Structure 1
Amino acid sequence: MILDILFPNRCLGCNCIISADLLVCELCFGRIDFIHSGYFDDIFIKEKCRLLFPVENTFALMQFDKKNLSRKIIHELKYKSREKAGEILAEWAIERLDFKDQKPDLLVSVPLHPKKLKERGYNQLHLFTEKLSEFYGIPFDHDLIKRNQYSKAQALKNRQHRVKTEHVFSIIKSITEKNILIIDDVFTTGNTIASIAWEILNAGNNTVNVLVMAVDT
């Protein structure tokens, strides 16, 4: 209570004081560039994925741009120790995401290297994934995929470096004939997701789908 008074939660958009369980005020919420396309629609992210690997369905919650509010929200989640922001983003996704009668069998989020996980203290995708799992009744597995290489933040890399994702990930459990949803924060080149997708596809008769918090168009 005292900390709330001394250090009140402020809107990421306009800096006004808001409830501790919010990211933005009601006015700034209307400024977020949500993507109004469904899970089964043919949109930019699906087209990009299909150039890299076979994908069934895709969903992106927001557009990501250096100057818009979604960038501030994602950076707050990843770099400002706002792990709980993942739950809020999941609630926004749930309001817009309908699997209809084609729910995935398993949710898998992009893993961090153990060294990066220790540095950050949490994987920014875990609470988001767990919230979706609870709501839709779809199991998740945070340990299916292992990141083999430690690397600096994607935001600090140049484009040429970002495409070098071969052998970055490996599957450490047997998995076959599953319809898997891969979850990531920001879709840029798509190479990170593609690396994971091919590991899953090559592991057995699996299919893959993609869900991201934001897509850089």
Structure 2
Amino acid sequence: MILDILFPNRCIHCNQIIDGNLLVCNLCFEHIKFTHFSYLENNYIKEKCKLLFPVENAFALMQFEKENLSRKIVHELKYKSREKVGKIIADWTSERLDFKNEKPDVLVSVPLHPKKLKERGYNQLHLFTETLSEFYNIPFSHDLIKRNHYSKAQALKDKQHRLETENTFSITQPISGKHILLIDDVFTTGNTLSTIAWEVLKAGNNKISVLVMAIDV
């Protein structure tokens, strides 16, 4: 209570004092660029994925443009130690994502290398994934995929480096005949998701769909 008075929660965009469970005020919420993609129809992220690997469906919640509010939201989650932002973004996602008759079998989040996980203190995708798992009643796995190499954040790499496959992943357990929904924060080149997707596809008769918080357009 005292901390709430001394350090009230503020909108990350306009700095107005807001409820402790919110991230932005009602006025600034209107500035978030949601994609309005349909998970079951062709859309921008699905077309991008199809150039890299076989994909069933794909959905991106927000547009990740330079200096826009969506970018600030994701950066709050990843770099400002605000893990709970993942739940807020998941709530926005559940209001806009309808699997209908294409519900995946398991939600799989992109892993951090153990060193990066120790540095950050949390995986920014875990609470997001767990919240969606509960809402849709779909099991999740945070350890199906293992990241084998440590590297600096994608945001700190130049475009050429992001195009290179510097991070390799491996499957930690047998999996076959499953529809996997791969979950990541931002789709830029698609390199990370593509690398993981091919590992999952090689592991057995699996299908891949994709969900990201934002897509860099």
1:94 equivalent in alignment to 2:103:
no
TM-score (norm 1): 0.98
1:188 equivalent in alignment to 2:188:
yes
How many percent of aligned residue pairs carry the same amino acid?
A: 73
Q: 1:65: which partner in 2? A: 65
User: In the superposition, relative to structure 1, how do residues 66 and 167 fare at CA in structure 2: closer, same or farther (>3 Å)?
Assistant: closer
Secondary structure at 2:115 match in 1? helix
Q: Is the 8 A contact 2:162 2:191 kept in 1?
A: yes
Aligned residues: 217
User: In the superposition, relative to structure 1, how do residues 49 and 147 fare at CA in structure 2: closer, same or farther (>3 Å)?
Assistant: same
RMSD (CA atoms): 0.8
1:8 equivalent in alignment to 2:5:
no
Q: Is the 8 A contact 1:10 1:18 kept in 2?
A: yes
Q: 1:179: which partner in 2? A: 179
Q: What letter corresponds to residue 24 of structure 1 in structure 2?
A: V
Q: 1:50: which partner in 2? A: 50
Q: What letter corresponds to residue 22 of structure 2 in structure 1?
A: L
User: In the superposition, relative to structure 1, how do residues 166 and 115 fare at CA in structure 2: closer, same or farther (>3 Å)?
Assistant: closer
User: In the superposition, relative to structure 1, how do residues 215 and 167 fare at CA in structure 2: closer, same or farther (>3 Å)?
Assistant: closer
Secondary structure at 2:209 match in 1? strand
Q: Distance in 2 between matches of 1:151 and 1:6?
A: 38
Deviation at 1:167, TM superposition (A): 5.9
Q: What letter corresponds to residue 75 of structure 2 in structure 1?
A: H
Q: What letter corresponds to residue 178 of structure 2 in structure 1?
A: K
Please give the residue correspondences for 1:5-44 in structure 2 after superposition, counting only pairs within 5 Å. Answer: 5-44=5-44
Q: Is the 8 A contact 2:151 2:167 kept in 1?
A: no
Q: What letter corresponds to residue 31 of structure 2 in structure 1?
A: R
Unaligned runs of at least 5 residues, structure 2: none
Q: What letter corresponds to residue 169 of structure 2 in structure 1?
A: F
Q: What letter corresponds to residue 54 of structure 2 in structure 1?
A: P
Secondary structure at 1:186 match in 2? strand
Q: Distance in 1 between matches of 2:100 and 2:88?
A: 22
User: In the superposition, relative to structure 1, how do residues 214 and 167 fare at CA in structure 2: closer, same or farther (>3 Å)?
Assistant: closer
Q: Is the 8 A contact 1:166 1:195 kept in 2?
A: no
**Residues 153-212 of structure 1 deviation map (CA, whole Å, 9 limit, x = unaligned):** 111001111122266110010000000000000000000000000000000000000000
Secondary structure at 1:149 match in 2? coil
Q: 2:142: which partner in 1? A: 142
Q: 1:198: which partner in 2? A: 198
